């Protein structure tokens, strides 16, 4: 996989003889990815989606192996994820949404519930689910994380999903 965090020159290897599983090499060309994207804050989630698709393509995942499911908002990311997991045929699921803090605590309830629910689905279906829900205080913070000066979290989410699949291959065979 291109640009794995463990290929960084600053990483100090552990003692020789200790078996390591890095999930940083292997073939992803036959893997199928579902991407669940919230339509709310589309200017943000669309950029996350584009970053993820470009990253998957750069790692030899063909377009035919990428499927996008649009859901109304961040709350529905869990339902959309469960749908594709129940359908089957996907090796990993990427999720993208954006919740920006407002005058009430609604953001905390949405963020916590979606986070916990996606984690539970990953365990229930034994599938990597990559978490791309931006939980920001301001719109400017979201813009910065969706291709702005902080980078594109969509790229990071795609890399996490790919690394988990490759790690799964190494560990489980």
Question: How confident is the model at residue 22, as a pLDDT?
Answer: 78
With H, G, I as helix, E, B as strand and everything else as coil, classify residue 36. Answer: strand
Q: Give the architecture (CATH level 2) of 30-172.
A: 3-Layer(aba) Sandwich (3.40)
Catalytic residues: 106
What tokens appear for 151 in the block? 């980078």
Parallel, antiparallel, or unpaired: how do β-strands 146-148 and 151-152 relate? Answer: antiparallel
Question: How confident is the model at residue 3, as a pLDDT?
Answer: 61
Question: How confident is the model at residue 6, as a pLDDT?
Answer: 53
Question: How confident is the model at residue 97, as a pLDDT?
Answer: 98
What tokens appear for 94 in the block? 């990427």
Question: How confident is the model at residue 25, as a pLDDT?
Answer: 81
What's the whole-model pTM score? 0.91
Question: How confident is the model at residue 21, as a pLDDT?
Answer: 76
State which residues of the chain have pLDDT below 70.
Answer: 1-9
Tell me the H-state helices in the chain. 42-58, 77-87, 106-125, 139-145, 153-172
Question: How confident is the model at residue 91, as a pLDDT?
Answer: 97
Q: Calculate Rg over the CA atoms of the chain.
A: 16
Q: Which residues contact 166 (CB under 8 A, 6 or more apart)?
A: 1, 23, 24, 25, 26, 28
Domain edges within the chain: 30-172
Q: Per-residue pLDDT tens for 44-70?
A: 999 999 999 999 999 999 999 999 999
Q: Residue with structure tokens 């950029």?
A: 47
Chain centroid to CA 27: how far? 18
């Amino acid at each position: 996989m291109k640009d794995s965090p463990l290929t960084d020159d600053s990483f100090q290897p552990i003692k020789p003889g200790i078996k390591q599983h890095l999930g940083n090499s292997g073939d992803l060309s036959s893997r199928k990815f579902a991407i669940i994207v919230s339509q709310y804050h589309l200017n943000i989630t669309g950029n996350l989606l584009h970053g993820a698709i470009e990253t998957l393509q750069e790692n030899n995942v063909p377009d035919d192996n990428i499927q996008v499911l649009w859901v109304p908002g961040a709350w529905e990311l869990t339902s959309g994820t469960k749908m594709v997991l129940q359908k089957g045929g996907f090796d990993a699921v990427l999720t993208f949404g954006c919740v920006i803090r407002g005058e009430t605590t609604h953001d905390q309830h949405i963020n916590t519930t979606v986070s916990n629910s996606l984690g539970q689905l990953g365990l229930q279906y034994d599938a990597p689910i990559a978490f791309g829900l931006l939980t920001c205080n301001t719109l400017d913070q979201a813009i910065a994380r969706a291709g702005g000066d902080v980078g594109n979290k969509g790229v990071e989410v795609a890399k996490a999903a790919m690394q988990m699949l490759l790690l799964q291959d190494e560990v489980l065979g």
